[in-house]
Amino acid sequence: MGQSRSFIHTCAVIVATLLGLSAALGLAQDEMLVVALPGEAQTLDMQITTAEVAGSISSHWLETLVAFDANWSPQPHLAASVDVSDDGLVYTFNLRQGITFHDGQSLVAGDVVASLNRWMNVSPRGRSVQPYAVDLEAKDDATVVLTLSAPFAPILSLLAHHSGGAGIYPASVIEAAGSEPIQDHIGTGPYEFVAWLPDRYVEVKRYEGYVPVDAPSDGYAGERVAHYETIRFATVPEVATRVAGTQTGEYGVAWQISPDLYPMLSTDLSVEAVVRKPFIWPVAFFNKREGLMTNQTLRQAVVAALDMEELLIAGAGLPEFYNLDHNYMVSDTPFKTDAGLQAYNQNDSVLAAALAADAGYAGETIRWLTSPDYNQHYQLSLAAEQQLEEAGFDIEVIAVEWGTLLDLRAQPDQWDIFVTHHGFAPDPVLLNTLSPTYPGWWEVDPNREVLVDKLHTATSLDARQTAWEELMAYNWEYLPSIMFGEWYGLSVKSPSVDLGAAALQGMPSYWNSRPGN
């Protein structure tokens, strides 16, 4: 109770400050939407980073050839239509006409070719396309043809996602930047870039020359309308400040609010609590290149000992903010499956001890790497340490800053298990858990390539679903990583803001959001 009173008092002080600031600035709420973010991006180059904050912000000025609808099906966007050959090897993108970049240049096929060529070289997503791409050409100013060496079913999902996304820039911007992060933030979107003041905000304004898709808004797809004149993405590290600013109306939306504040905020008439589903799922990667966890049976022993619900509660706190789920394709996608479920949430210390003995485990220290910078990761890790030690394992939790963790996880002699999380992905191709080179290094398993190739080259959704079931069943046997379940996120918004559908998708975008009553 004392902590809650302290938080409320802090909010009250901040509210008074923000009210004065708002009056001084004279900002009209129906002209500017301010989105309060807990941190800022290292780059706003959509292609080069998978950071959620970068993809969310840059999606307001950068667009893609196709975009996900509310059912996570790619639909034409900058492309008026997409034609696919019967053998699945040739994709023809017929561009919409009359579209201009924010510098006044017309969008032509040469811009798309330049952008996609760079994307396949610099993007973590694009690089998965590169082995299949045989040719990419501008047939004429309105037509782009991509030829593949083999069917690659996820290509449209990769082109639709704006995490490490295939944002389309002018060819001149691509030529000037090369593989370095792009600084000329020019696109075709409903908003154009205005300014980035580090540690303060990124600001965009309505692009008056925008040409929307002639179709109803549907998820990220369809019509995009800039109802606000300006959107400002403000860097606001303190949770209390983000909450208080939303209570006053200074911020229209605030990201990443502590779930333990949900009971208070859900009854606060000055704000509306928004539970983000889908959001993230916590995952731990086993080091399969070096050390104890190269032993598959020992990995099985570790997983057998874990009570997943207890671990999810340790990070999420409230039942509204977690979901027991073993499937790496969480929430409502076409890839739901029960394959591998028998290995999930076993909570069986007797089985764990038997498997550990079979693996030849003799009490060696297992190094568990995590970062308190993500408190949910850290709390889950502490709970896992207790569970595993009760099952007979010797666990050393190595808690470091997130930047240090990123350095250490690249060094296989420094850890055995490390904890991170993955944002929502509508297609398995977008999962870093399938990557052979992501820290954890699934490359040592020859079966991975066979199963992943089957998933990627299947030419129908039914065939891909079957391939995913096979991969999931094998995943929970081989155990390259541990899927703990799903965590939901908490945002708050002002009642004066109506969020559009794209603001409620996996990675929020605020075109089609508008002033409310």
Give me the number of domains the chain comprises.
3
333 part of a folded domain? yes
* pLDDT of amino acid 9: 47
Instruction: For 196-210, write each residue's pLDDT tens digit.
Output: 999 899 999 999 999
Q: Are residues 75 and 42 part of one domain?
A: no
Question: Is 60 contained in some domain?
Answer: no
Domain assignment present for 59: no
Q: Does a structural domain hold residue 32?
A: yes
User: Do 391 and 323 belong to one domain?
Assistant: yes
Q: Which of 269, 266, 267, 271 is nearest to 243 (CA)?
A: 271
Q: In this structure, is residue 85 part of a structural domain? A: yes
Q: Where do the H-state alpha helices sit in 214-261?
A: 239-248
According to the model, what pLDDT value does residue 375 have? 86
Q: Among all chains, which residue has been given the structure tokens 């304004």? A: 205
**Within a domain: 138:** yes
In a domain, residue 52? The reply is: no
Same domain, 212 and 287: no
Q: Does residue 285 share a domain with residue 272? A: no
CATH number, residue 406:
3.10.105.10
Residue with tokens 């501008």: 138
**Last residue in a domain, options 177, 200, 222:** 177
Whether residue 379 is found in the same domain as residue 295:
yes
**Residues 331 and 249 reside in one and the same domain:** no
Q: Is 424 in the same domain as 482?
A: yes
CATH of the domain at 257: 3.40.190.10
Beta strands in 290-447 (DSSP E): 322-323, 365-370, 394-399, 417-423
Please state the three-class secondary structure of 141-210 as a single string. Answer: CCEEEEEECCCCCCHHHHHHCCCCCCCCCCHHHHHHHCCCCCCCCCCCCCEEEEEEECCCEEEEEECCCC
How many other C-beta atoms lie within 10 A of the C-beta of residue 362?
8
Residue 235's domain spans which residues? 2-47+186-276+490-515
Same-domain pairing of 284 and 271: no
Domain boundary among 115, 147, 177: 177
Same structural domain, 367 and 452: yes
196: which strand partners? 202
439 and 369 in a common domain: yes
Shared domain for 101 and 223, answered yes or no, is no
Q: How far apart are CA 200 and CA 195, in angstroms?
A: 10
Nearest residue to 77 (alpha-carbon basis) of 91, 57, 62, 56: 62
pLDDT of residue 30: 74
Grouped pLDDT means (10 residues each) for the chain, 517 residues? 45 45 48 92 91 92 96 94 95 98 98 98 90 96 97 92 94 96 97 96 97 96 97 93 94 92 94 90 96 98 98 93 91 85 97 98 98 91 98 97 90 97 85 87 90 88 93 97 94 95 88 88
pLDDT value at residue 29: 58
Domain co-membership, 394 together with 435: yes
pLDDT at 16: 42
- Single out the residue in 130, 153, 177 at which a domain terminates: 177
Is 384 part of any domain?
A: yes
SS3 419: strand
